[in-house]
């Protein structure tokens, strides 16, 4: 099974690209969803997080207060390292299990941390959704209802744009309209099908 990675910074349109691939019948595994499942109510990981940060890290329904946790890890690097050490192996293992069930010519692993973690080892090619920083800040601040300053701080904490682009095998430029993004996804889809089919023949 051929697996391609899909990533991009906050507000880049990565999720929109993932939906465009899904509309073409491609299986897309969302690493963010896997990460949410790993810390679901009653999970061992959530219990460890609660013990480490205190019970006020939980909502009244005992689910994780993500906003509170996000504030802590963005302002305290050591706490971020602790959390990553706990969660990244669990998330990777879950991703590996789900990818192993794929039956179609290729799958996509959609992950904002694809290049910042060892998740990149799970894919054969990397697709980066790219957008100019001003557009990125505007879209993300409107979508999330937060200030431009907050979005800028998140961007600055992520992998630099130039470094992300250097790792890309395919680049989707999302500065334009949604129809343009879908056109680029369709073009890349045809290329990915060809790559996966060629690989299958070589391994036959």
d(Cα 127, Cα 14) in Å, to the nearest integer?
A: 10
Q: Please report the pLDDT score of residue 162 as a whole number.
A: 94
Q: How confident is the model at residue 204 (pLDDT cuts 50, 70, 90)?
A: low
Residue 40 CA, chain-centre distance (Å), reads: 18
> pLDDT (tens digit, 9 = 90+) per residue, 36-93?
999 999 999 999 999 999 999 999 999 999 989 988 988 888 999 999 999 999 999 9
Q: Which residues pair with 172 in a beta bridge?
A: 129
Which residue would you say has higher pLDDT here, 201 or 112?
112
Arithmetic mean of pLDDT over the chain: 92
> pLDDT (tens digit, 9 = 90+) per residue, 16-43?
999 999 999 999 999 999 999 999 999 9
Q: Which residues pair with 2 in a beta bridge?
A: 106
Q: Please report the pLDDT score of residue 73 as a whole number.
A: 87
Residue ranges covered by each domain of the chain: 1-26+106-204, 36-103
Asked if 29 contacts 21 with a C-beta cutoff of 8 angstroms, the reply is no
Q: For the domain with range 1-26+106-204, which CATH number is right: 3.40.50.300, 3.40.50.2300, 3.40.225.10, 3.10.20.740?
A: 3.40.50.300
DSSP-derived pairing of the beta strands 125-130 and 2-7: parallel
For the chain, how far is it from start to end, CA to CA, in angstroms? 12
Residue 195 has pLDDT above 80, yes or no: yes
């Amino acid at each position: 099974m051929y697996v391609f990675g899909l990533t991009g910074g906050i507000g880049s349109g990565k999720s929109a690209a993932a939906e465009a691939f899904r509309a073409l019948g491609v299986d897309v595994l969302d690493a963010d969803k896997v990460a949410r499942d790993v810390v679901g109510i009653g999970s061992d990981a959530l219990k460890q997080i609660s013990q480490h940060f205190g019970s006020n890290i939980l909502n009244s329904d005992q689910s994780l207060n993500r906003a509170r946790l996000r504030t802590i890890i963005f302002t305290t690097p050591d706490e971020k390292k602790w959390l990553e050490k706990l969660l990244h192996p669990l998330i990777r293992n879950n991703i590996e299990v789900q990818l192993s069930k794929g039956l179609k010519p290729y799958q996509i692993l959609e992950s904002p941390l694809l290049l910042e973690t060892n998740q990149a080892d799970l894919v054969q090619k990397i697709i980066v959704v790219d957008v100019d920083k001003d557009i990125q800040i505007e879209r993300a601040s409107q979508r999330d209802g937060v200030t431009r300053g907050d979005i800028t701080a998140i961007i600055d904490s992520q992998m630099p744009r130039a470094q992300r682009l250097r790792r890309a095998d395919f680049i989707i430029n999302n500065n334009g309209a949604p129809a343009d993004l879908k056109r680029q996804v369709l073009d890349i889809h045809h290329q990915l099908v060809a790559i996966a089919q060629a690989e299958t023949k070589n391994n036959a």
